[in-house]
Amino acid sequence: MTRRKKWTASAVAMIALLVFMSACSSSKGGSTASNSPSSTASSAASEGTDDPSKQPEITLDVFSNLANYTGEQTGWFAKVVKDKFNIKLNIISGGQQKASTLLASGDLGDIAVAIGGDDYKDAIKAGLLLDWKKDGLLDKYGKDLLENAGKSLEANSKQFGGGTAIYGVGNSVGSGDGPSDGARTTFGPMLRWDLYQKLGSPEIKTFEDYLPIVKKMQELSPKSDSGKPTYGFSLWSDWDGVMSVNAKVTAQFYGYNEGDGFNTADIMMTKADEAKWIGLLDDDGYYLRGLKFFFEANKMGLLDPDSLTQKFPDVINKYKDGQVLFAQFPWLTDSYNTTENTSQGKGFAFVPFTEEKMTSSGYNPYGSQYLWSIGSKTKYPERVMQFLNWLYSPEGAQIAAAGPKGVIWDIVDGKPALTEFGYKAVTNSVDMPAEYGGGKFTDGGFQANNATINKSMINPETGEPYDYSMWSSYLNHDPDPVTKSWREAMGAMTMKDYVVKNNIVAVQPAYFSEEAPVAEPADIKQKKAEMGKVIKEFSWKMMFAKTDDEFAKLKEQMISKAKGLGYDDVLKWQVENYEKTVGAALKK
């Protein structure tokens, strides 16, 4: 009996202890994004000296919706920041669900990157973001921010801070004319240059003209490197939102973009540089034209039959093997354009069509919408501000874009150039030196994954863009035979040069509004999700339809089903916002 009681008592005690322990530790582990215990510094101590590297070591939590990585920042970027600021960065990767839990917890860490539109407004309303004007923080520590991103700060203040407070700064800030793309533009099309040359570089007028040419290329090269059949086009569905990403590109070749770059407007396409728009399902619209294009391609045996079922990595593997001859996006070709292939003259290159007006966004002094902001719970507002300010300074932007000076690049004859080691490091063919944290160059970059100053902007300190792949030294560094042949044939140094010279690019001017974009009402959001599902499903069925009749029938079904689920309501809401804002501005 006594023994039994003892046992019972000890069991109860053990559980009570567990509950107690967990309740107790709430005081110390209570915040989601709590500063790591190693940060013993107090903010009072940090005011003593001006040199940030002499201040006590702290760890900052950086929450980024764009990060792929969670954990302590490692590699060369960590070293640079540690040396300069005595700061360690703890990266917390986002995703909609993770972001929601942090918002609900009331603590966004020290730096919050790319909190989405409506969430951002909510976060301000709930007091989760720090006002940069408070205690003169920005004026004291934000010299470079004010100088390089002044307009963006102003815009943020007007949109979100009632004209007085500032809660953040836009990403990719820049100014100037022309497209803000890098040397390589965002869209293609790209063709296998060697095969296209063999055909005698036939003229391509409309988008549909690619079909017969790609067919001939397929006949020229029916087998891939490992003996598998070749296709003109290989698509994937795992990135689709409300529509097929691959079919949407057709609009982007014709100067139209999904949405308007400001509002939530993803079922309409707007002309980049004119006040014109079309609905996603418009009969003469570019989306349906894109579907028709791939439908025709499938009839000609040019469309990879696995397009429907494969995932994106499978597509990359097919490009790698040389199974695909056309690419909508330039970056798809990276896995084929290896030194091994290009040295044999095999590789993809940009082959535009006469009618093409590729969309591009212009330099935006107000910045894009992946805002950088500071969490209101931060214990170190001054040091966070110093760090952010550095990211917006020429020095910080240059290091973030091209790595540490003296290791990856240096100034040679007054111009920036990658070092011999740098050329190898940026392609990940060698590891970084141990004192820079080792590992691959790309893994060592700032894992928040968001730009500050637009990389195509000119760095006043070097006279060349921040992006090393736009440096003249880089462009002239031993170009491969494919690039050489392309440059000769096209009379341009890079894709960007070509589209600007030949005026086949539609640049969307920066848009500024004193008001933040209208929040998407819940019922519109839900309707969009429902009809988006239908549109995706039928789009793929249409691309793989057997006959013209089936294609037409599926199209009819898609439109009537989408309309039944609220397509018109959603479109109406989106168009209204567009016409009040971006549309109105473009009319002027």
| Contact pick of 112, 128, 217, 407 for another protein (by CB under 8 A) | 128
| 538 is an interface residue for another protein by CB under 8 A | yes
Part in contact with another protein (CB under 8 A); list of ranges 26-34, 277-285, 372-380, 415-423? 26-34
What is the x/- site pattern for another protein, positions 3-22, by CB under 8 A?
Answer: xxx-xx--xx--xx-xx-xx
Residues in the chain: 588
- Residue 314: Cβ within 10 Å count: 15
Structure tokens at 337: 């354009």
By the rule CB under 8 A, 480 interacts with another protein: no
In the bound complex, what is the minimum distance in angstroms from residue 50's beta carbon to another protein?
31
Mark the segment that binds another protein (CB under 8 A) among 305-313, 385-393, 477-485, 574-582.
305-313
C-beta separation of 179 from 362 below 8 A: yes
Smallest gap from Cβ 90 to another protein, in A, equals: 7
Q: Which stretch binds another protein (CB under 8 A): 183-191, 279-287, 373-381, 480-488?
A: 183-191
Q: Is residue 587 involved in binding another protein (CB under 8 A)? A: no
Q: How far is the CB of 52 from another protein (least distance, A)?
A: 23
Find all residues with CB under 8 Å of 360, minimum gap 6, and list them: 179, 180, 181, 185, 186, 272, 499, 505, 506, 507, 508
Does the N-terminal peptide bond of residue 189 adopt cis geometry, omega within 30 degrees of 0? yes
Q: Does 151 bind another protein (CB under 8 A)?
A: no
455 interacts with another protein by CB under 8 A: yes
Q: Does 306 bind another protein (CB under 8 A)?
A: yes
Query: Which residues, including other chains, have CB under 8 Å from residue 438's CB and lie 6 or more apart?
Result: 75, 431, 432
Does residue 211 contact residue 302 with C-beta atoms inside 8 Å? yes
- Does 122 help bind another protein (rule: CB under 8 A)? yes
Contact flag: residue 561 with another protein (CB under 8 A): yes
- Shortest approach of another protein to residue 419 CB, angstroms? 18
Confirm or reject binding of residue 342 to another protein (CB under 8 A).
Answer: no
Residue 217 or 324 having the CB closest to another protein: 324
Q: Which is nearer to another protein, 90 or 386 (CB)?
A: 90
Please report whether residue 194 would count as binding another protein according to CB under 8 A.
Answer: no
Binds another protein (CB under 8 A): choice among 110, 131, 194, 467:
467
- State the angle between helix axes of 394-402 and 143-160 in degrees (0 to 180), rounded to the nearest 10: 90
Q: How far is the CB of 136 from another protein (least distance, A)?
A: 27
Q: Does 32 bind another protein (CB under 8 A)?
A: yes
Could you give the C-alpha distances from 253 to 185, 301, 329, 505, 564, in angstroms and in order? Answer: 12, 23, 11, 9, 30
- Residue of 374, 324, 331 whose CA lies nearest to 350: 331
Asked whether position 357 contacts another protein by CB under 8 A, the answer is: no
Residues ≥6 apart with Cβ < 8 Å to 505: 179, 185, 357, 358, 359, 360, 499
Unique residue bearing structure tokens 């462009």:
475
**Interacting residue with another protein among 52, 142, 174, 182 (CB under 8 A):** 182
Q: What are phi and psi of 467, to 5 degrees?
A: -70, 115
Reading the block at residue 136, the tokens are 């003169």
φ, ψ (nearest 5 deg) of residue 129: -115, 150
Q: Which candidate, 326, 351, 355, places its Cα nearest to that of 498?
A: 351
**Nearest alpha-carbon partner for 149 in 175, 125, 131:** 175
Member of 83, 177, 219, 238 binding another protein (CB under 8 A) = 238
Closest distance to another protein from the beta carbon of 184 (Å): 5
In whole angstroms, the minimum distance from the beta carbon of 373 to another protein comes to: 13
Counting contacts by CB under 8 A, is residue 427 touching another protein? yes
* Binder among 152, 264, 270, 310 for another protein (CB under 8 A): 310
CA–chain centroid gap for 250, Å, is 20
Q: Is residue 312 within the footprint of another protein (CB under 8 A)? A: yes
Q: Is there binding between residue 57 and another protein (CB under 8 A)?
A: no
User: Which CB, 209 or 306, lies closer to another protein?
Assistant: 306
Q: How far apart are the first and last CA of the chain?
A: 92
DSSP string, 385-436: HHHHHHHTSHHHHHHHHH--BTTTEEEETTEEEE-HHHHHHHTTSSPPPGGG
Residues of this chain, 540-559, that bind another protein according to CB under 8 A? 540-541, 544
| DSSP-assigned letter for residue 468 | G
Q: 85: which 2 tokens?
A: 């600021």
In degrees rounded to 5, what are phi and psi of residue 277? -145, 160
Is 568 a residue that touches another protein (CB under 8 A)? no
- Total of residues contacting another protein (CB under 8 A): 126
The enclosing H or E element of 489 equals: helix 481-490
**The one segment of 132-140, 158-166, 302-310, 415-423 that binds another protein by CB under 8 A:** 302-310
Least distance between another protein and beta carbon 467 (Å): 6
Asked if 113 interacts with another protein (CB under 8 A), we say no
Q: Is 459 in the site for another protein (CB under 8 A)?
A: no
- Cα–Cα dist 112/98, whole Å: 13
- Please pick, from the candidates 140, 223, 228, 553, the single residue that binds another protein as defined by CB under 8 A: 228
Residue 305 engages another protein in binding (rule: CB under 8 A): yes
Does residue 300 bind another protein (CB under 8 A)? no
Tell me the one-letter amino acid at 217: M
| Binds another protein (CB under 8 A): choice among 84, 133, 487, 525 | 525
Determine the Cα–Cα distance for residues 397 and 109; give it in Å rounded to an integer.
23
Binds another protein by CB under 8 A, chosen from 92, 169, 269, 482: 92
In the list 257, 449, 452, 581, the residue contacting another protein (rule: CB under 8 A) is 449
Could you tell me which stretch among 212-220, 315-323, 386-394, 498-506 binds another protein (CB under 8 A)?
A: 315-323
> What is the CB neighbour count within 10 angstroms for residue 509?
16
Alpha-carbon radius of gyration of the chain: 27
Q: Are 331 and 316 in contact, with CB atoms under 8 Å apart?
A: no
* Near another protein by CB under 8 A: residue from 33, 195, 288, 507: 33
